Structure 1
Amino acid sequence: MPSPDDLPYHRLGGTDAAMALAEAFYDAMDAHEPELARLHELDAEGRVNRGTRERFGLFLAGWLGGPQDYTERHGHPRLRMRHGHLSIGVAMRDAWVRSMQRAMDARGISGGLRRFLDARFAHVADFLRNVEE
């Protein structure tokens, strides 16, 4: 478990690294999980749009212990409420987790930070499930 002086945010590399992880996440989703990508607003090229990518990067930075820019701009994340209109079952949860694993692979996240993030992301993804399959 990280201490206040050793936050995942710092281990990851700060806000720029959180933004890059969000980019890699949506790039992986666009490339490998088109059904999941279609649940998001897409740009003219059919990729998850810039606003979604930026919001998620800001969310990640704050969620990992960094600046709370997401909350200041968009309010409390309220993850269940914000995702409640979507049918999220095991398949969508697993697609989300695979996209994040690919993103972390692409960003070279490993070791203790990777183990911590794998567990936390899996927990949150399962928490958002609202459909039994």
Structure 2
Amino acid sequence: MNEIPRGTIEQQTFFEAVGGEATFRRLVHHFYLGVESDPLLRPMYPEGDLGPAEERLALFLMQYWGGPRTYSENRGHPRLRMRHTPFQVDRAAHDAWLTHMRAAVDELDLSPVHERQLWDYLVYAAASMVNTAE
């Protein structure tokens, strides 16, 4: 029997498996198209232009899923809860965020396994940002 030496099989990251940077940029762009006109979420973005927020989220998600570490190189540790504390994130904001993210995920046409893995993380992340009771 021939054994494959340990460390010789390259494992593909989630980032690579779903199409890399282009996929995550598409996801985040579609998400922010929804946020742009959302009366609950839009005020949470004090910048007039959503472009910088879109870039930050894209870089964060790419890094989280095994892509380049550009987010941390530019901004340090993500500290997501800390970065969201200035904003009132209640259940309604949580639900609105997930509504727009669901529409964005659906635009990607991922395999069922990748879609489930991504969606499970997004649901978890949204819940962890809630910092205000109803």
TM-score normalised to structure 2 length: 0.85
1:20-59 aligned at under 5 Å gives the runs 20-31=26-37, 33-43=38-48, 49-59=50-60
What is the distance in 2 between the residues matched to 1:110 and 1:92? 28
**Is residue 41–residue 52 contact of structure 1 (8 Å, CA) maintained in 2?**
no
**Is residue 21–residue 103 contact of structure 1 (8 Å, CA) maintained in 2?**
yes
Offset at 1:42? 4.5
Bigger drift between 60-69 and 14-23 goes to: 14-23
What is the distance in 2 between the residues matched to 1:80 and 1:42? 19
Q: Which runs of 5+ in 2 are unaligned?
A: 1-9
Aligned length: 125
Q: Give yes or no for the alignment of 1:124 onto 2:125.
A: yes
- Tell me the residue number matched to 2:62: 61
> Which of the two has higher C-alpha Rg?
2
What is the distance in 1 between the residues matched to 2:12 and 2:42? 33
TM-score normalised to structure 1 length: 0.85
What is the distance in 2 between the residues matched to 1:42 and 1:70? 19
Q: Which runs of 5+ in 1 are unaligned?
A: none
Offset at 1:117? 1.1
What is the distance in 1 between the residues matched to 2:88 and 2:111? 31
- Tell me the residue number matched to 1:9: 15
Task: Provide the identity percentage.
Answer: 31
Determine helix, strand or coil for the equivalent of 2:53. helix
RMSD: 1.6
Runs of 4+ aligned residues of structure 1 deviating over 4 Å after TM superposition are none
- Tell me the residue number matched to 1:89: 90
